Amino acid sequence: MTYILEAKDLRKQYADKLALRGLNLQIAPGEVFCLLGQNGAGKSTTLNLFLGFVLPTAGAAFVNGLEVAVNPLKIKEHLAYIPEQVMLYPHLTGLENLALFSSLAGYKYSPTELVEYLTEAGLPVEAVRRRVGTYSKGMRQKVGIAIAVAKHAKVLLLDEPTSGLDPKASNEFSELLRRLSSQGTAVLMATHDIFRAKEVGTRVGIMREGELVDVRPTAALNAQELEQLYLTYMH
């Protein structure tokens, strides 16, 4: 089977901490893999290694078959990333920010298309031409989602993507993930939100002290079982 995301014995040692202890992970196209775990468990380090933001101490991360450390720019053509807090250029409008990041990703959209991406991500149409400096955290998050969607990436890396969203927007985001997943986009999402993971994930992995200690298909668990499993590893 061809994996779009793959980690082979991925290890990351920071100066004073072993953040990742030999992670092995494969994610197929269309799969939504949710990484659960406490703060410092290694979720964000895993995302950073796939993004090439940090280099592995040992092992390798692959995106679409390309080793991240060897092809740091090429792999980003296949990746879209939404951080926990989407920060944008505050003096540019939502539209201009989207135009900038899309053009960096190699896409040139008309203003109409840009507005469509933003409104589909949930940004009110009257806000698209307002400076981002006036946006709430949730609105910025929606622009981040639009940036990710407009990139047409094969892989979506998400770090607590719904943390700034209200329940309605979170639900819309889940819908969006399901839609992207059905179109073949692989998703790796680091989250604390067990119920969101159960709702949109095809598999969940539980991380603890830099190790992926358990991986389960979400279809095999109900929400209570997942919560119980999570709590088991957290104590």
Partner 1 sequence: MRNFWILFSYEGRHFRAAKGLVLLCCLLLATGLYGIYYGTTEIERQRQHLATLPELTRRNVEELKVKFPGPADAGDIGYYHTTFAVHHPDPWAALSLGLRDVNPSYVKLRLLGLQNQLYAADNTNPMKVLSGNFDLAFVLVYLFPLLIIALSFNLLSSEREEGILVLLLAQPVGPATVVGAKLAFRISVVLGLALALSVVGMLWAQVPLDMRVVAWLVLTILYCLFWFGVALVVTALQRTSAVNAVTLLGVWLVLVVLVPSLLNLGVAAARPVPQGIELTIKQREEIHAGWDRPKAQTMNRFFALYPQWRDTTSIRERFVWRWYYAFQHLGDQAVAPQAAAYAHRLQQRYDLVEQLNLLSPAINAQSSFNALAGTDLPTHLQFQRSAARFHDSLRAFYYPFLFRKVEFTHADYAREPTHTFTSQPELGTAYGGLVKLLLSVAAMYALGAGLLRLRPISPR
Which residues of the shown chain bind partner 1 in the complex (CB under 8 A)? 51, 53-55, 72-74, 76-77, 79-81, 83, 85-92, 96, 100-101, 103-106, 144, 147, 151, 157
Give the nearest distance from C-beta 76 to partner 1 in angstroms. 4
The SS3 assignment for 141 reads: helix
**Residue (55 or 219) nearer to partner 1, CB:** 55
- The 10 Å Cβ neighbour count of residue 37 is 25
**Residue (55 or 58) nearer to partner 1, CB:** 55
Contacts of 67 (CB under 8 A, 6+ apart): 60, 61
The two tokens of residue 118 are 């933003």
The whole-angstrom separation of Cα 79 and Cα 152 is: 9
Give the nearest distance from C-beta 165 to partner 1 in angstroms. 17
**Residue (45 or 181) nearer to partner 1, CB:** 45
Question: At 211, which amino acid appears?
Answer: E
Paired with 158 in beta bridges are: 82, 189
Give the nearest distance from C-beta 132 to partner 1 in angstroms. 10
**Residue (136 or 228) nearer to partner 1, CB:** 136
Give the nearest distance from C-beta 77 to partner 1 in angstroms. 5
Q: Outline where DSSP puts E strands in the chain.
A: 5-13, 18-27, 32-36, 58-63, 66-67, 79-82, 155-159, 186-191, 203-208, 211-217
Give the nearest distance from C-beta 46 to partner 1 in angstroms. 15
**Residue (17 or 91) nearer to partner 1, CB:** 91
